[in-house]
Structures are given as structure tokens and as C-alpha cells.
Chain A
Amino acid sequence: MTLRNTAAAPSPLVSPSKSRASVPRLRTRKAPSIDRPRRSIWLTVVSAVVLIYAILPLVWLLISSTKTQDDLLSTFGFTFGNSFALFENIANTLTYDDGIFVRWFANTLLYVVVGAGGATLLAVMGGYGLAKFTFRGKKAIFAVVIGAVAVPGTALAVPTFLMFSQVGITNTPWSVIIPSLISPFGLYLMWTFASQAVPTELLEAARMDGSSEFRTFWQVALPLLAPGTVTVLLFTTVATWNNYFLPLIMLRDPQWYPLTVGLNAWNAQASTVGGQAIFDLVVTGSLLTIVPLIVAFLLLQRFWQSGLAAGSVKE
């Protein structure tokens, strides 16, 4: 595919002059290197060290969540305790304080589905529009978007809070969802991606056939944008799932907490006069928080990996 005439967004991170065909689709290359090289023990060992580093804390978490609070405080982190209480812990976590954990879980899902989903949709549409239509002030918008990527999200949180409090929507789900709707990076990614992945000729052909702009977008462009969309969705989902700072500022009512803020509140409860220390629930809750995301990663492996590859192809 030649990338002739892509009203390309100037890609500032890389040279636009590089002419090597950057097909934004994963090469399905089984043996990525020359011939079939012999396996290297040495490299395996080095990688194994990194591997251990990566999963050791997760193993600790898994083992610790099988312990009662007594064992947690008195036995070695990588051996099992005197009792196997994983299922009790899970049951306790889910039912503690009228099942508030389940509620936090549902909140998190809500923020992810609406926030991350909306952010992805906006990024795809915005990126497509910016890449495929010419209009005045485009350069300026591009500069703003690039600048926006560099602005720390947390720096915006405090003024956003002050603004929201004047309109009276702090302490509602909207105060968390609305700021999540914008992902400058997602927009940027989709922009560069759309300018490469969707051939303008194709759009012109569709228009000549009398297809409306809207239909063209849905039926012609969107399928081509799929890999990039998955990548953006991955980014925004992780970002929303892990968001802590924003809900911490915006929310006061525990009923609206996402998991991250809720877990930290549980951790702080040990310092309550008359409050119970519930480190066992904090540990089990942490496990339950990351499991869904890991499972989703594993199940959707094929999709996001190709998306990620596509997204990073920007030479």
C-alpha cells in the first residue's frame, strides 16, 4: 500500500520523511529473526530474572490473600500461613460493610465503561475528523493537542475540582466521568493512525457512490481503524481503572468510590480510633481488583497486542 496523499498530520515524534512503508498492521512473521537461531541459555537466564521481578509481588499478593490477619502479621510472606483462608477472605471482602466492595467494583465498571468507552469513541471520531478533513485552524488544534499530551493530568485535577464545585457536580459520578472522557494521547494516536490507515481514495470513492459522511465513517473508516481503536481502548481502560487522584479529590461519598480509593480508605481504617485493622481485607481486595484486568488482558491478548503494534508503528 502506498501512502500517497495522506493529508498527514505532521508527526513530530518521528520524521515524516522516512519512507519505509509503515503499514499499520502487524506483520504476521513467525520467526522474526534470521533463520532459526538456537535458543540461548544466557538470554533466558537474564529474562528469567526480569520475569521473577515482575511476578514475585503478585505471588506474594496471592499467598497473602490466603492468610488470616493473624498469619498475615506473623508468618513469612512467601510461605503459606497456618490456615488457608482464601475463600473466607474473599467472602469477607465481598460482604464487609454491607458489601461496599461490590458497590465499588460496580462503580469502577461504570467509570470504565462510560469514561473509557466515551474517551475512545471521542478519540476515534476526533482523530478521524482531524486526519481526513481540511479546515482552517487545524495547525493550531494540532499544537494544542500536542501540548495537551504534555500537560500533567493531575495538574488539571485541582482547577477542575474548583470549577465542578461551582456547578455543583462534585461528589457525583459525573465529576469522575467527564474528565475521563478526554484522552489527548488517544486523540493524537488516532490522528496519526487514521491519516495512515484510511486511504483518502477510499473515502472519495465512497463519497462518489453517494454515501453520507456519517455512513462513510461507520462503514468504511471504522473497520480500518479497529486496531488503533483497540489500543486506545486499552490505554483509556487501564487509565480509568487505575485512576486514583481524580476520584480522591472529587468524591466524598463512599458509595461512589472506585476500587482504588476504597482500598486505600480500608488501609487507612487501621488508624481509626475504635476502628478495626483489616489488612487481610486490603490484601484480598487488592487481589480482586487486579484479577479482572489481568483476565481481560489474557483473553483479549490477540487483539490488544496487534493494536499496540499498530499504534507504535509511526516511523
Chain B
Amino acid sequence: MLVFAVVFIAPIVYSLYISLFRAQLVGDTQFVGFDNYVQAFTDAQFWSGVGRVSLFLVIQVPIMLGIAMVVALAIDSARLYGKDFLRIAVFMPYAVPAVVAALMWGFMYGPRFGLVGYVNDFFGWSLPNLLTPEWILLAIGNIVTWSFVGYNMLIFYSSLRTIPTSLYEAAELDGASQSHIIRHIKLPAIRGSIAVATIFSVIGSFQLFNEPSILQSIAPNAISTYFTPNLYAYNLSFSGQQYNYAAAVAIIMGVITMVVAYVVQLRGIRKDES
């Protein structure tokens, strides 16, 4: 518990503290009260980052969880060839560090010499250059999806396997169809897992940092220094020396994340009880 306090509580308290000051390259550090927060609430760059991760959240998370669910149901149905191999193979990207994943996909995204470029040349297609401002969010979404589909799939799958066989037998007797079983037995039974996976995906989206930060070096015009709130806080602190303001931004972002995660949680419970 002591470690918990040192590692966890202290930084929060400390960042609350420094967020009330403003240090300058020239001149002294002053106490500024809530000025940093006021500034953040009117900071268009910050909110554009929040908007971007929210958009990312709304689109990427359902797709990723959807794919994970389909694969989990498919494996669980035992109607597949080679399901053990599939399960392991789909999970494997989870073992790839985000840094490596971003480097790898970065090489492949190359519009001239990467995979995208070769496919275009070879088939005469014109796949878009994913490293442009219009497509970059998709490029990042793809990397994240790739990394975490297997992980979420396994969560769903293991949860599916805990459903008592007797329930299926009963449904069978009632003459229920497969889709009926999925909708009325399987999905409700694993609602808890879905909630967990959703919350973690939500938190992951709001924390987006590694992928855009690595891709920035090959797509500098598509990924700004305020692309995601986390990236913004990082750049404010370390290239702008604005630690105090960055702390305020991080705190606001933490509160937003908690609120959203809490709402998702509440929804999960309510559905469960209904």
C-alpha cells in the first residue's frame, strides 16, 4: 500500500500542485491559481486532440471488438478447421510491442516502396497513401486493431467457455437456432467480459500515444504535436518546457477518461440488471 501511495497518489497530488503554477524560461515561477485550467478549456489544440481520440474511440473500438467477437464465437462454435492454430495466431500480435508494431506498419504503409506502393504498382490499384492527414487515423486504427483483436478475442472466448453445457442442451430441446443461441444465451452470458474489454479499449483510446508518436517521424504533416491529448502533454512538457500547463492538460484528460469509463461501466451494470 505504501508503494501504491508513492507511485500512484503522490504523482496525482504533485501534478495537481504544479498545475497551479506557471514557470517561464525567463523570469520566476508564479502562482496562477486555475489559469492553466482556464487556458486548457479554451485551447483549440487540446480539444481537437480530444475530438480526434473520441472519433477514434467511436469507430475503432466497435470494429475491433466486433471482429474479436466474431472470431471468438466462431472458435467457440467448434465448426472451424484448425481452431487451435487460429486462436494462437490471432493472439500473437498482442506480444508485439506497440513500438515495433508501429515501426513495422510504418514500413509497410510507405506509398512508394512499402507494401502499399507495391500493391499499387502490381495490381495497378491506387490505394490511398495512409500517411496523409485524411487517412492517418485509419492507419493508426489499423495498427491498434491488429495489436488487440487477439487479446479481446481471448477474453471473449474464455468467457464463452464457462457457459454451462446444460444451457445449450436446454436450448437445443426448445429447438433454438444457432443465431438464437448466440443472441439469447452467449452474448448475455459474457456481458461482463464485454464491459471489461470496452472499458479497457476506451482507456486505451484516450491514452493513444505510442503509435502516433512513432509514425510522426514518417508523417510529420499528418500528425501534429497536439494530435492526441497525451502527445500534446508530452510535447508541452518536453519540447515546450510548459510542465505546469501540461500537468493541467493531463489532469483534465484523466478526469474525462474516468467519466467516460464510469459511464460505460454504469451502462454495463444497468443492462445486466434489466
Give Cα A18 to B89, complex, Å: 34
Question: Does A103 touch B at the CB level, under 8 Å?
Answer: no
Interface size (A, Cβ < 8 Å)? 98
Contact with B along A162-191 (1 / 0, CB 8 A): 110000000000000011011010010000
Chain A residues whose CB sits within 8 angstroms of the CB of B100 once the complex forms: 260, 263, 286, 289-290
Give Cα A260 to B154, complex, Å: 25
Give Cα A286 to B75, complex, Å: 30
Chain B residues whose CB sits within 8 angstroms of the CB of A187 once the complex forms: 4
Give Cα A153 to B155, complex, Å: 22
Chain B residues whose CB sits within 8 angstroms of the CB of A160 once the complex forms: 7, 11
Question: Does B261 touch A at the CB level, under 8 Å?
Answer: yes
Chain B interface bracket (under 10, 10 to 19, 20 to 34, 35 or more): 35 or more
Which of A1-9, A47-55, A212-220 lies at the interface with chain B? Answer: A47-55
Question: Does A43 touch B at the CB level, under 8 Å?
Answer: yes
Question: Does A205 touch B at the CB level, under 8 Å?
Answer: no
Task: Tell me the nearest residue of chain B to A12, going by C-beta.
Answer: B265
Give Cα A181 to B7, complex, Å: 8
User: Contacts A32-B76, A155-B230, A159-B247 known; A58 to B93 CB distance under 8 Å?
Assistant: yes
Cβ B149 vs Cβ A50 within 8 A? yes
Give Cα A73 to B114, complex, Å: 9
Cβ B99 vs Cβ A242 within 8 A? yes
Give Cα A149 to B261, complex, Å: 9
Give Cα A258 to B196, complex, Å: 30
Cβ A32 vs Cβ B160 within 8 A? yes
Cβ B99 vs Cβ A260 within 8 A? yes
Cβ B89 vs Cβ A155 within 8 A? no
Which of A80-88, A89-97, A195-203, A294-302 lies at the interface with chain B? Answer: A294-302
Task: Give the dominant DSSP class at B's interface.
Answer: helix
Select which of A17, A122, A244 is within 8 A of B97 by beta carbon.
A244
Task: Tell me the nearest residue of chain B to A293, going by C-beta.
Answer: B95
Question: Does A156 touch B at the CB level, under 8 Å?
Answer: yes
Within 8 A of A (CB), among B76-95: 76-83, 86, 88-95
User: Contacts A147-B258, A155-B233, A286-B103 known; A33 to B76 CB distance under 8 Å?
Assistant: yes
Contact with B along A13-52 (1 / 0, CB 8 A): 1110110101100110101111111111001101100110
User: Contacts A14-B192, A158-B250, A242-B99 known; A152 to B71 CB distance under 8 Å?
Assistant: no
Question: Does B168 touch A at the CB level, under 8 Å?
Answer: yes
Contact with B along A63-92 (1 / 0, CB 8 A): 010000000010011100000000000000
Question: Does B183 touch A at the CB level, under 8 Å?
Answer: no
Task: Tell me the nearest residue of chain A to B204, going by C-beta.
Answer: A152
Cβ B189 vs Cβ A151 within 8 A? no
Cβ A29 vs Cβ B165 within 8 A? yes
Select which of B7, B90, B158, B265 is within 8 A of A309 by beta carbon.
B158
Question: Does B38 touch A at the CB level, under 8 Å?
Answer: no
Chain B residues whose CB sits within 8 angstroms of the CB of A255 once the complex forms: none
Give Cα A276 to B14, complex, Å: 42
User: Contacts A122-B3, A126-B4, A158-B15 known; A298 to B88 CB distance under 8 Å?
Assistant: yes
Chain A residues whose CB sits within 8 angstroms of the CB of B59 once the complex forms: none
Cβ B243 vs Cβ A158 within 8 A? yes
Question: Does A142 touch B at the CB level, under 8 Å?
Answer: no
Cβ A305 vs Cβ B71 within 8 A? no
Give Cα A268 to B168, complex, Å: 55
User: Contacts A155-B251, A159-B250 known; A13 to B192 CB distance under 8 Å?
Assistant: yes
Measured CB to CB, the residues of B under 8 A from A are 1, 3-4, 6-12, 14-15, 18, 67, 70-71, 74-83, 86, 88-101, 103-105, 107-108, 113-115, 118, 146, 149-150, 154-155, 158-162, 164-165, 168-169, 171-172, 189-193, 195-196, 199, 203, 206-207, 209-210, 214, 217, 230, 233-234, 237-238, 243, 246-247, 250-251, 253-254, 257-258, 261-262, 265, 268-269, 272-273
Q: Other CB < 8 Å A-B pairs besides A242-B98, A264-B103, A264-B214, 19 of them?
A: A13-B192, A13-B195, A31-B78, A32-B78, A40-B77, A44-B81, A51-B90, A57-B108, A60-B108, A148-B8, A151-B12, A152-B257, A154-B207, A154-B230, A155-B253, A271-B217, A283-B107, A294-B95, A305-B154
Measured CB to CB, the residues of A under 8 A from B are 12-15, 17-18, 20, 22-23, 26-27, 29, 31-40, 43-44, 46-47, 50-51, 53-55, 57-58, 60-61, 64, 73, 76-78, 122, 126, 144, 147-156, 158-160, 162-163, 178-179, 181-182, 184, 187, 238, 241-242, 244-245, 249, 259-261, 263-264, 267-268, 271, 279, 282-283, 286, 289-290, 293-294, 297-298, 301, 305, 308-315
